[in-house]
Amino acid sequence: MWPWGHLAVAYLVYVVYTRLDPTRRQTAATLTALAVGSQFPDLIDKPLAWTFGVLPSGRSLAHSVFTLLIIAVVLHRLAVRYRRTDLSKAFTVGAFAHTLTDMSPTAVAGLLGGDLTQLQWLRFLVWPLRPPPPYANDTSFVEQFASLSVEPYVLFQFGLFGLAVAVWIAHGVPGLRSVTRRSKAVFTDFAD
């Protein structure tokens, strides 16, 4: 999935998460943590695999549920200490949404249809216990972006992004007002 697709799914999941409990709010801080979390696995794995060659794949270390669980626990413990569990939860929702949406739709459909050979495409979830699958275009950022084409799955991701933006607007653009208020205050103070 492309970055905008990960962000869209993470936001839509987070909307449901915040609606389940009225004490959870969408703020500039939580939405920033969510956005970072939604990109986190790729921000770690792809440079370490493609640029530095220390990981076997652009979907390995930070895409592994083992790594994500450790990060979630550590972040939560830190967040409890600083009384900002809202941020750790938002980040964790984003990171897990990312990893789950990296599961190939073909592999998931195959598994649901009983084709267990499709499990090979989900091995990144349990790295390092299993090696990551052999992905095409898993060698460089240039190769990855060169492979971008207008196909149904890419269009679907743009559609998801549009839906996420529409939902964000429908909910009153949470987080935006506080950012614009702070920006105005900074620029007003700077002008004085």
Tokens 């009384």 -> residue: 83
Rounded to a whole number of angstroms, the CA Rg of the chain reads 18
Give the DSSP H or E segment for 83.
none
Compute CA 140 distance to the chain's CA centroid, rounded to the nearest angstrom. Answer: 20
Listed by start position, the domains of the chain span 3-191
Instruction: Return the exposure string of 115-130: e unless at least 16 CB atoms fall within 10 Å of the residue's CB, then b.
Output: eeebeebbbbbebeee
Residues in Cβ contact with 170 at an 8 Å cutoff, skipping those fewer than 6 apart: none
Q: What angle do CA 139, 143, 149 make, to 5 degrees?
A: 135
pLDDT number for residue 63: 96
DSSP 2: -
pLDDT at 191: 56
- Alpha carbon distance 167, 176 (integer Å): 14
| Tokens representing residue 144 in the block | 């990855």
CA atoms of 105 and 69, how far apart (whole Å)? 23
pLDDT per residue of the chain (192 residues) written in tens, 0 to 9: 899 999 999 999 999 999 998 888 899 999 999 999 999 999 999 999 989 999 999 999 999 999 999 999 999 999 999 999 999 999 999 999 999 999 988 889 999 999 998 888 999 999 999 999 887 777 777 777 777 788 898 899 999 999 999 999 999 999 887 776 665 655 555 555
User: Cα separation of 74 and 135, whole Å?
Assistant: 30
pLDDT at residue number 43? 96
145 in Cβ contact with 85 (< 8 Å): no
